Amino acid sequence: MTQFNPVSEAILAELTAVLTPDQLSITLADRQQHAQDMSQHRAHLSEVVIWPTNSKQVADVLRVAHTHRIPVTPWGAGSSLEGNPIPLFGGITLSLVRMNKIVTLYADDFQVTVQPGLGYKDLNQQLGPDGLFFAPDPGANASIGGMLANNAAGSRTVKYGATKDNVLAMEVVLADGRILKVGSRSVKQSAGYDLLHLFVGSEGTLGVITEATLQLAPVPAIMSSAVATFADVETAVAAVVELRASGLDIAALEFIDAATSGLLSREEGVDWGENPTLLMEARRFAATTDTTERQKMWQTRHHMFETLRRVFVGHRWQLADVAVPISQFPALVRFARQTLQAHHLPELLVGHAGDGNLHIAIPYADENTRQQANLANNKVVLRAIELGGTATGEHGVGIGKAKFMVREHGGTAVNVMNQLKQTLDPHGILNPGKIIPAPGTSLR
């Protein structure tokens, strides 16, 4: 591991020289505001927060950091769920929030070029009058840059793909300050190495995304929604596999287990009862097209974690995020329930079932329960990998999943990732401690 240097007065002076005074802060309040995301991981303070307003400034800051070996952790909206933007080694927090503009709308091409600090909900609000929207929907008003860095996904991924499937081109600043363009506005491109997808999902460890051209979709005119409740979980998840094979043009397919359905019915006034429930959205099937009812149903789903947080006052959360091939989803759900029972933990399972993506929300308020939650999460992750799946379907590796990388990818693939990291960031300054596991990492 590279030895990092502290942000000395001399380095602060170098940074100040390439910025305006309002673009840099060392106050405790500012550093605390950027010490933690929405995960359960421990907060950590950076030494200075910097708000660049253009790519050149990002490059200038990175050159200083590269020269002096100062860690740099990019920051979007702070809405990630795996500690991805926590500045584990201090140094610089590079907040992109002031780079939040639409650069160019290419309406005929269903494309838009944006800066990374723009929230995807804000983007979609601005695109509304053009009848277009950016489809990936991770929930909270994540920044576009954060979505790209984590390859975020959500309810609509079953139809529209994840963030990586909805980006065409980006501008990226490397650790040493070099600025490059990757990808193309042409939807087809077979012109050399796919650098675009190397940077997407790299969580700020290979470069800082300073601009992106996104693929948009037309807002569908008519959408039907359906709620189906089931007698038991097995039947519900078996139905997911069948629905996926049906050829129906499914735009969302969400699984909510009995306990969570009951909780949401009591708290939010939906009528799902204490039953395993599937929520579906699609074109062309007979069900409700009533806008108010649809909105209520999907709002309930989208605000579920807020509801859970409200109900479990004073609790923190271990959030599992695993995904498997769809045929293995029933087996995964079965294993997850058994594991939660064995560890005396509540069963709060929900999933972007159409993609084979399962989330488990595990509340804890004491150290013993935290440990049980951690053990249960580990078991579920290892089982998902055994079933041909992944440790993280959409939250990214961040801090919590680095220990599973070798199990999921094999040692050779992780070594190759490490080689690429060292090639593009030889001093290891970019978001250190994320993705690449430290040597000798245990699975506990």
343 to 362, contacts with its own copies by CB under 8 A?
352, 355-357
Q: Pattern of binders to its own copies over 255-284, x per CB under 8 A?
A: ------------------------------
Instruction: Tell me if 297 sits within 8 A of 307, measured CB to CB.
Output: no
Kindly tell me which of 140 and 424 has the beta carbon lying closer to its own copies.
424
Piece of the chain touching its own copies by CB under 8 A; list 12-20, 45-53, 298-306, 397-405 = 397-405
Residue type, 272: W
- Of 231, 245, 311, 342, the one binding its own copies (CB under 8 A) is 245
Closest approach, Cβ 107 to its own copies, in A, equals: 9
Q: Does 222 bind its own copies (CB under 8 A)?
A: no
Q: Is 128 in the site for its own copies (CB under 8 A)?
A: no
Contact between 231 and its own copies by CB under 8 A: the answer reads: no
Given candidates 231, 365, 416, 443, which one binds its own copies under the rule CB under 8 A? 416
Among 41, 156, 159, 401, binds its own copies (CB under 8 A): 401
Give the residue from 325, 128, 167, 346 showing the smallest Cα distance to 244.
325
Kindly tell me which of 182 and 236 has the beta carbon lying closer to its own copies: 182
CB–CB of 229/279 below 8 Å? no
| 167-173/208-215 β-pairing | antiparallel
Q: Which is nearer to its own copies, 18 or 195 (CB)?
A: 195
Enumerate residues 356-395 that contact its own copies by CB under 8 A: 356-357, 384, 388-395
Strand pairing partners for 180? Answer: 172
Q: Which is nearer to its own copies, 90 or 428 (CB)?
A: 428
Q: Residue 53 gets which letter from DSSP?
A: -
Residue 104 within binding range of its own copies, rule CB under 8 A: no
b (16+ CB within 10 A) / e for 84-121 = bbbbbbbbbbbbbbebbeeeebeeeebbbbbbbbbbbe
The window from 69-77, 183-191, 229-237, 296-304 that contacts its own copies (CB under 8 A) reads 183-191
Task: Return all residues near 324 (Cβ < 8 A) that are at least 6 apart.
Answer: 331, 332, 356, 358, 384, 387, 388, 389, 390
Q: Torsions phi, psi of 132, nearest 5?
A: -120, 155
Are 37 and 79 in contact by the 8 Å Cβ rule? The answer is: yes
Sheet containing 357-364, strands listed edge to edge, beginning at the edge strand earlier in sequence? 224-229, 277-282, 250-256, 349-352, 357-364, 316-323
Is residue 11 near its own copies by the rule CB under 8 A?
no
Q: Closest separation between CB of residue 237 and its own copies, Å? A: 13
Q: How far apart are CA 383 and CA 12, in angstroms?
A: 47
Q: Give me the numbers of helices (H) and strands (E) for the chain, helices first please.
A: 15, 17
Tokens for 19, please give them: 């910025």
Q: Compare residues 318 and 369 and give the one whose CB is closer to its own copies.
A: 318
Residue number with CB closer to its own copies (247 or 269): 247
Under the binding rule (CB under 8 A), the answer on residue 413 touching its own copies is yes
Residue 237 contacts its own copies per CB under 8 A:
no
Q: Between 12 and 88, whose beta carbon lies closer to its own copies? A: 88
Count residues contacting its own copies (CB under 8 A)? 81
């599992």: which residue's tokens? 320
The reply to whether 324 sits near its own copies by the rule CB under 8 A is yes
The contacts of residue 420 (CB under 8 Å, 6+ apart) are: 198, 206
Report the distance separating Cα 319 and Cα 262, nearest Å: 19
| One of 405, 430, 431, 432 touching its own copies (CB under 8 A) | 405
DSSP assigned state of 45: -
Q: For its own copies, which stretch binds (CB under 8 A), given 10-18, 122-130, 193-201, 269-277?
A: 193-201
